[in-house]
Structure 1
């Protein structure tokens, strides 16, 4: 006997509700039926998971603004596989990003001074909020994987002399490689193994008002091949190296890095602020065996909530997974009522967190991104393998995975303007038939022969 667990959200409100089979709307006999065919014999990538980032701002809000009861609640709802939505990936900034209360690295020095031996290296800043919350997340979900990305090298290593603007000076490539080694070793000392790093967040963008660092493709290939990977080997570090960490619209960048340093690179990290997710497949097909990861995409005020913004996350998330990504990571885990805190001088923020922590009222709110992530992470578990899913109507988007326990996870999004009839099949055996409202989502966990 096949059993099902189902979750539904409509395009009208923030919901993630569990349904019984009896609660599904029967087919409308006056309409054609869309068939979703699943084939678990045709497989693709293995999933690491879904998540967001403990930026300095996010960690501060959750760890210091919320009370203990609220903090326990939100951490459980974010990371616990049964009591929550089971997020299993965290991407932490290495030092300050745009969402930090101050500009800092792990090796700041007075102006005109350098520290070639990194004697002043310290992750003490992270020990306040970021590390305790990351440890708690790992305790709640032992399958958690940690990713890390710097927004900038310490200012003294750069042409600008600052964490804002500039490039990494070639003379400091060895020291910067050691900077990564020390970071990874320091986190391991706190019981937090780093699964993967990228050498630079958004390497083609040089912001003038928050930490950033321009790193052309040839420079990144040189740094990885001749400095970072050798430093990892010398220190017996198994952390994976992902290149690029930027938008879909410049696939030539990762292609260049993989061509010049492919043996030292484990995969490519992508963002959604330009281009299309099909770029992931273009690079994947050019360099078979290199992992694909989606490491940052923020929701925000530029897309009106609820329906349009929710639909965008679902539509794009499905597309990301159908283009070989092993992860789907949004941006800030938490932001406040003003979409901050941000670094001084940043200006008005328009980004949205997975949760909102109101600093004035000390209130906790789960945003539409939380519910969108839930539709993926609650049914697609770590080590799940994507299987073939085809739809007879392009208006019904789908992605499916087979979990390690044999269950099949299916996420459906009705991108059409009308209610649709949907029929699902696995190996030509009919499973479920139901109606889907326009802009609604159905997440289905199928346990065959149980």
Structure 2
């Protein structure tokens, strides 16, 4: 939207329940009732690491069942310049619930030197997908890799599900990570970061898992994994501790960042969102940041889970009646954290809340699932931003895809979150200034009424409106 000298030079993109899908808007209705949003780029917060989704075996397998045209169109939509431009991703080390079955890279019991280590299981689907995404991405992306469990023979229960890593195998498990990094590097895939295990509290002993206390994980990182990677010339690998829900953050960061020795090999903290369907736990995020202000704080997993996705039904993703996940499993004293929610709102609300509370990266879970919400060997069905029907070679880009793109496409790695004043409690707003100087502002209007607002930067101002039930990204250019 070109403006006169007193107006900001902005472009406005909107996704709405009424049908906009990253639609560029150029005309806005005027109103006497105008909210005020003011940007203050002189006050900055965290530097952005990136946004994106996860490479899982399920996603890779489904893409390989589609026609080459549809497979490529989805990869382009996530990683191409005209698409979401994903910049931060995650993958699993050996199997997880979104694998076709259980597997480990080190199946031979008591092979302490891991002579039989092999990533061959990943060669059919997972590795080709990652490499194809790399070839499409102009600016590249970072990958965080997480195991759901150590090889079962290293654990006290000798099983994929549950149990603890036995202390006598701490060095062998550290070697397992080193072998993984080397194997993927030999495929031309560099790994940016690791977490010691996905969800150390476990997952109710349902699928691959391994329990760590904060003290146990910190011992493993401080005395085994960190020194091993350093000795192998991999000191640049970012080890992120914890990797579970935010309500446990305080206990974990107190142990992880207790002193210089405990902190040395931790690059930061990884978090998930499953503690609540609406609360993003700002106090816990602030606490984690203040405990380790120079460390990363990255959301590594979130999705609409315990749910079969709705096929080609955009309206469902905007309705609070869509999901009431917590009522399936939450204890009585925690049900209040899990009210019914609209999937789009849960995503946008959480990402904006995270950005406004020191989180520097946000990674979605599966990029692609089928109409059942799988495949998933445990039948733990979930929703993904892109749903496919491989039998009929059909693809459905849900509103969640556009929601993610509102952030990933316009807020780039190296951007700095900036101060925003907003006098309308019914609008959620965040903003960041990119390395090229442009500013991206993201708004969420969860209400049923159009909202009019003025956007001010210094001496310049422009009037904009956001539709009911809508997400909007405003880019400010020529600053």
| Distance in 2, Cα, partners of 1:126 & 1:255 | 36
TM-score, length basis structure 1: 0.93
Change (3 A) 1:206 1:418: closer
**Paired residue for 2:334?**
none
Deviation >3 Å, runs of 4+: 300-304
Trace 1:350-365 onto structure 2 (pairs within 5 A): 350-365=381-396
1:152 aligns with 2:149: yes
CA distance in 2, matches of 1:339, 1:12: 25
Q: 1:302 to 1:38 in 2, by over 3 A?
A: farther
Per-residue deviation, 1:47: 1.2
Alpha-carbon contact 2:308-2:371 (below 8 Å) kept: no
CA distance in 2, matches of 1:400, 1:332: 26
- Which residue does 1:204 correspond to in 2? 201
Tell me how many residue pairs correspond in the alignment.
Answer: 435
Instruction: Report whether the alignment pairs 1:119 with 2:153.
Output: no
- Does residue 26 (structure 1) correspond to residue 29 (structure 2)? The answer is yes
| Other structure's SS at 1:152 match | coil
Which runs of no fewer than 5 residues in structure 2 stay unpaired?
A: 310-315, 320-341
Identify which range, 3-12 or 168-177, moves more after superposition: 3-12
- Does residue 14 of structure 2 align to residue 17 of structure 1? no
User: Contact 1:137/1:144 (CA < 8 Å) preserved in 2?
Assistant: no
Q: Distance in 2 between matches of 1:247 and 1:326?
A: 16
Q: Considering only aligned residues, what root-mean-square deviation do their CA atoms show, in Å? A: 1.7
In 2: Cα distance, 1:14 partner to 1:74 partner:
20
For 2:447 and 2:168, locate their aligned partners in 1 and report how far apart those are by CA, in whole Å: 55
C-alpha change, 1:414 and 1:302, in structure 2 (3 Å) is: farther
SS at match of 1:194: coil
Displacement after TM superposition at 1:350 (Å)? 3.6
Q: How does 1:33-72 map to 2 (within 5 A)?
A: 33-62=34-63, 64-72=64-72
1:12 shift after superposition: 4.0
2:317 corresponds, among 305, 317, 320, to 305
- Cα deviations by residue, 1:401-431 (Å, 9 ceiling, x for unpaired): 111111111101113342221110112421x
User: Which residue pairs with 1:277 in the alignment?
Assistant: 281
**Per-residue displacement from partner, 1:300-320 (whole Å, max 9, x unpaired)?**
439952342112211111001
> 2:333: which partner in 1?
none
- 1:359 Cα offset (Å): 2.8
Shift of 1:233: 0.6
2: CA distance, partners of 1:391 / 1:273 = 28
Q: Please, what TM-score do these two structures have when normalized by structure 2?
A: 0.87
**Secondary structure class of the residue paired with 1:259:** coil
Cα deviation code 1:54-85 (max 9, x no counterpart): 111111111x21111111111111101x2211
Query: Which residue number in structure 1 is paired with residue 352 of structure 2?
Result: 318
Cα deviation 1:300-348 (Å, max 9, x = unaligned): 43995234211221111100111111211111111111111111xx23x
Counterpart in the other structure of 2:367: 333
Determine the structure 2 residue equivalent to 1:163: 160
* Alignment equivalent of 1:192, drawn from 185, 189, 195: 189
* Shift in CA distance, 122/207, structure 1 to aligned 2, threshold 3 Å: farther
How far apart, CA to CA, are the structure 2 residues paired with 1:100 and 1:203? Answer: 19
User: More displaced, 417-426 or 92-101?
Assistant: 417-426
The alignment status of 1:267 with 2:268, answered yes or no, reads yes
d(CA) in 2 for partners of 1:43 and 1:241? 25
Report the counterpart of residue 183 of structure 1 in structure 2.
180
* 3-state SS of 1:299 partner: coil
Unaligned runs of 5+ in 1: none
Distance 1:428 1:192 in 2: 47
Once the two structures are TM-superposed, the CA of residue 254 in structure 1 deviates from its matched residue by 2.8
* 2:399 is aligned with 1:387: no
Displacement, 1:200?
A: 0.7
Partners of 2:257 and 2:291 within 8 A in 1: no
What residue in structure 2 maps to residue 405 of structure 1?
436
Query: In 2, are the aligned partners of 1:77 and 1:85 still within 8 Å (CA)?
Result: yes
